[in-house]
């Protein structure tokens, strides 16, 4: 289910992503190991303040009842930071794995048991990496019922989330660019 907020913001985001040519055609290997004839080069867009501002506004409008915003490293950290600033909700950064030095934390930022956390991601294919980040949060006492993704590739992530009783909310789907 797409976000319920402003259609104008959604149209603006599509326009900005098209202008930045985030959909690349060719032969690509995805992080899931799958081969694809297109690639969503979202990092090109989420390093742009104008794009980040629109994404942050879209997600921030949906954060009623949320205590914290989280993003898995590396791609979602700029998005989570922008949403944190827009919504005035504290930020959590989820590492791919515990660091082997210092405090050895998997989660950076303060997560209090029972905190309701919205997790954001740049692109989903199968949803596996986003679910791993959610598991890190729930394993440390947080409650995640909803996650947001800028672009869903429509290759199974929504179904995997439903199977787990979680809601994945895409701002856009790859079919919005066809």
| Binding-site residues from annotation | 95-96, 99, 121-129, 153
Q: Is 119 helix (H, G, I), strand (E, B) or coil?
A: strand
> Which H or E run includes 14?
helix 7-19
Q: Which residues line the annotated binding site for 5-phospho-alpha-D-ribose 1-diphosphate?
A: 95-96, 99, 121-129
Cα–Cα dist 176/10, whole Å: 10
Distance of CA 131 to the CA centre of its chain: 11
Q: Which residues line the annotated binding site for orotate?
A: 125, 153
Cα–Cα dist 39/137, whole Å: 28
Q: Phi then psi for 71, rounded to 5 degrees?
A: -145, 130
């Amino acid at each position: 289910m797409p976000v319920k907020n402003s259609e104008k913001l959604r149209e603006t985001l599509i326009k900005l992503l098209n202008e930045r040519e985030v959909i690349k055609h060719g032969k690509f290997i995805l992080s899931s190991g799958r081969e694809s004839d297109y690639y969503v080069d979202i990092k090109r867009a989420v390093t742009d303040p104008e794009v980040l501002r629109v994404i942050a506004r879209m997600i921030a409008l949906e954060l009623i009842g949320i205590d914290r915003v989280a993003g898995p490293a590396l791609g979602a950290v700029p998005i989570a930071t922008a949403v944190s600033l827009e919504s005035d909700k504290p930020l959590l950064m989820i590492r791919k794995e515990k660091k082997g030095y210092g405090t050895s934390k998997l989660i950076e930022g303060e997560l209090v048991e029972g905190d309701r956390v919205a997790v954001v991601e740049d692109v989903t294919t199968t949803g596996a990496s986003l679910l791993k980040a959610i598991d890190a949060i729930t394993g440390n006492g947080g409650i995640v019922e909803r996650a947001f993704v800028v672009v869903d590739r429509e290759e199974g992530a929504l179904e995997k989330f439903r199977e787990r009783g979680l809601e994945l909310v895409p701002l856009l789907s790859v079919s919005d660019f066809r």
